[in-house]
Structure 1
Amino acid sequence: MNWLWGSKYTPIGLDIGTDTIKLVQLELSGPRPRVVALAQRRMPELDEEADEPQRSEQLKQAVAALLSESGVRGRQVTLCMNGTQVFVQNLRVPAGAEEQLEGIVQTEAEQRLPGEFGEVEIRHLLAGEVRGTQHGGEPVELKHEVIMLACRRRDIDSLIALAERLRLKPQGLDVPQCALARVVTSTMRRKSDEHQCLLILDLGASGTNVIVTRGQSVLMIKPLPIGGRLIDRQVAKRLDLSLPDAAALRQQCQDQPDQIEDELLRVVDETVRAHMEALGREVIRCVRYHSVTFRGSRIAKALLFGGEANQAVAGILARRIGITCELGDPFVGLELSDELRRRVRLRRVGMWAVVLGLCTKARRVAA
């Protein structure tokens, strides 16, 4: 993997998620990119009674502290929208309409976006050509599968304003689904990888992103509202706990199960399994949509990323969807010091995938 940049260092990748704030920076002067800054901290408990300027100031202080302790170089940054702020829709448009594609996507967005969405910024990905069949087996019109991505303008402006208040210099803005796909596809350089289809699952706090790629192309993106927060709420309800206490219990059940009472372990395990079974059913629908849309394109395996990805979850999903599920490692091909490697291993490796994708957004050149 070779990179061409105007600087020795990439812009800082900054991901302000639902539960955590993460940043990463790479150095590009050696034979392989090297991680020189990597840090994360929990999102601050924002005062629900505080007004927007006060909440913004709390968030600013948290990000400023993370920047200070991380040892980043420079002030250039690539930002990421929170997954809950991104509206995703797969569309079909007639083939040959490439010149009008932007207008078509804009019209579709006006029809499909919720009325309260407000002023938006819209982008699209061209997934590929598709051709359906009529009931008699005759082929129908060739069309393009398009992925529409929309974000509220006020959310974008708020994120950029936060960066500028921190004296950062935004160089790019991304969505988590594209950042994650970039990390995975950047390692696919062999000829045999060109047609390999992967199912990528990003299991986070607010939900799960389902992404299907083929070679370097993104074929499908589907956000699902099943994530860690939903599981924590159910655990809290069953055990009559506060949400923070339920989240802490679930974490302890994963890290130190021998120190938890059997009944508590049973409740947490049942709750996690029920939600992963539900997630599996939704993923199966996504796989079916892909197989019908892109005929003959078979998914080779699933890669799991995100803070909720672990071996137990991979096992449950593999049995439910009938596809081999592996935990993804976004640090493949990167150099890390022993200290940073130790820090990465303290938590789930997959949680760093999106923020690493932000580092490599601009001016990437593959060998």
Structure 2
Amino acid sequence: MFFSKKKEIIGLDIGSSSIKLVELKEGKNGYRLQNLAISSLPPEAIVDGALMDSATIIDVIKDLIGQAKTKTKNAVTSVSGHSVIVKKITLPFMTEAELEESIQWESERYIPFDINDVNIDFQILGSDTENPEVMEVILVAAKKDIINDYVSVIMEAGLNPVIIDVDAFALENMLAINYDLEGGETIAIANVGASITSINIVKNNVSAFTRDIFKGGNQLTEEIQRQLHVDFDEAERIKVGSKMDVASQPVIQKVLKEASESLAIEIGNSLDFFQSATTYEKISKLYLSGGGSKIKDFEILQQQHIGIPVEMINPFKQIEFNEKNFDLEYMREIGPAMAVGVGLASRKVGDR
């Protein structure tokens, strides 16, 4: 797409435990980081993607805008969870205009919600590799009430929501601007949030499979709380390995291993399901992102479980930034949690 003047946008990742703001500037040699901010949300402010405490969320967004000192008003955010359905379907060949007209009734077979209660979008991927007489289409449906809630809080915070994306696609965009994937390579990303883990399997830089697992970092924290009788903040520190006294180390390691294994198995099962249901070649690598992925030794545990290379994502890998303005150690620390935000910030006004 070509624009006479690029309109700047903010990527706003509204997660269940924190909100992340990212602003990028695109230049001749790629992207440059302009602004970055992150702020925690109180528990129960967002539950399964539903905004339960809009007033607090609006205040946090306003606070982030103040921290970042940004003047940009256009914002892109994303949704995930029970209220969003992403399906890859096959349909008879038709033009985009023809599909635009027929998508409502074509969708009814695939979407478990009342068709009048959802916003529907699609992307034509091209002909099916196994049957060239039909085309592959990514179908996305999101509940209107959830979309309206997100649009409302963004507007009340003084911003202009221009795109509502899906977490899995934001991760795909983040990957595309940071990693040079070999042609035909099939990779997976697991974005471990506080309450939801989003899985996206990408082939030829296009989503081939997405799934949300309703388990994340908070469940591990709660398990640590329950077994070690500590408060939430202390359990969080234990989870990432920043608090461990020698006396309780064996107990902590046992609890961490058990809680982490449960999530690792769920992620592994999703990858197995995809590979058993398709003729694609083996997934070559799993990238981990999200604040919940920073569980102590989780990378190693996940690799042992699935038997393929596992790597913690660096969403700033190919993004320039001024080290006077952005502390390198801090960027490494928060990097995995900013992956969705970076993907959102790479969108452009006018994108689908």
TM-score scaled by structure 1? 0.80
How many angstroms apart in 1 are the aligned matches of 2:252 and 2:3? 47
In the alignment, structure 1 residue 19 sits paired with structure 2 residue 8: no
- 2:291 corresponds in structure 1 to 307
Report the AA paired with residue 248 of structure 1.
E
- Cα RMSD over matched residues? 3.4
How many angstroms apart in 2 are the aligned matches of 1:44 and 1:117? 33
Aligned match of 1:171 in 162, 172, 179?
162
Asked if structure 1 preserves the Cα contact closer than 8 Å seen for 2:17 and 2:43, the reply is no
- 1:356 corresponds in structure 2 to 342
How many angstroms apart in 2 are the aligned matches of 1:295 and 1:54? 42
Report the AA paired with residue 176 of structure 2.
T
How many angstroms apart in 2 are the aligned matches of 1:269 and 1:6? 56
Aligned match of 2:77 in 76, 79, 91?
79
In the alignment, structure 1 residue 345 sits paired with structure 2 residue 331: yes
In the alignment, structure 1 residue 160 sits paired with structure 2 residue 151: yes
- 1:332 corresponds in structure 2 to 317
Asked if structure 2 preserves the Cα contact closer than 8 Å seen for 1:88 and 1:223, the reply is no
How many angstroms apart in 2 are the aligned matches of 1:127 and 1:274? 40
Asked if structure 2 preserves the Cα contact closer than 8 Å seen for 1:44 and 1:59, the reply is no
Deviates more, 1:297-306 or 1:248-257: 248-257
CA deviations on 1:140-166 (whole Å, 9 max, x unpaired) are 997655543322111111211222222
Asked if structure 1 preserves the Cα contact closer than 8 Å seen for 2:286 and 2:311, the reply is yes
In the alignment, structure 1 residue 56 sits paired with structure 2 residue 54: yes
The 1:37/1:53 distance shift into structure 2, 3 A limit, reads: closer
The 1:277/1:249 distance shift into structure 2, 3 A limit, reads: closer
Asked if structure 1 preserves the Cα contact closer than 8 Å seen for 2:163 and 2:349, the reply is no
How many angstroms apart in 2 are the aligned matches of 1:261 and 1:118? 58
Instruction: Identify unmatched segments of 5+ residues in structure 2.
Output: none
Instruction: Identify unmatched segments of 5+ residues in structure 1.
Output: 132-139
- 1:136 corresponds in structure 2 to none
Asked if structure 1 preserves the Cα contact closer than 8 Å seen for 2:11 and 2:341, the reply is yes
Please list, as runs of the form range in 1=range in 2, the aligned pairs for 1:127-138 lying within 5 A after superposition.
129=128, 131=130
Deviates more, 1:281-290 or 1:178-187: 281-290
CA deviations on 1:302-322 (whole Å, 9 max, x unpaired) are 111111223711110111011
Report the AA paired with residue 301 of structure 1.
K
How many angstroms apart in 2 are the aligned matches of 1:219 and 1:167? 36
How many angstroms apart in 1 are the aligned matches of 2:112 and 2:223? 28
How many angstroms apart in 1 are the aligned matches of 2:284 and 2:327? 29
**1:282 deviation in Å?**
3.0
Asked if structure 1 preserves the Cα contact closer than 8 Å seen for 2:16 and 2:45, the reply is no
Report the AA paired with residue 9 of structure 2.
P
How many angstroms apart in 1 are the aligned matches of 2:209 and 2:158? 36
- 2:206 corresponds in structure 1 to 217
CA deviations on 1:173-203 (whole Å, 9 max, x unpaired) are 11111101111123456xx722111111111
The 1:9/1:110 distance shift into structure 2, 3 A limit, reads: closer
CA deviations on 1:234-272 (whole Å, 9 max, x unpaired) are 22222344xxx23532324524344x3543x44443343
**1:294 deviation in Å?**
3.8
The 1:53/1:37 distance shift into structure 2, 3 A limit, reads: closer
Deviates more, 1:284-293 or 1:327-336: 284-293
The 1:103/1:171 distance shift into structure 2, 3 A limit, reads: closer
Asked if structure 2 preserves the Cα contact closer than 8 Å seen for 1:76 and 1:170, the reply is yes
Deviates more, 1:212-221 or 1:292-301: 292-301
Q: How many residues align?
A: 344
Report the AA paired with residue 168 of structure 2.
Q
Report the AA paired with residue 312 of structure 1.
D
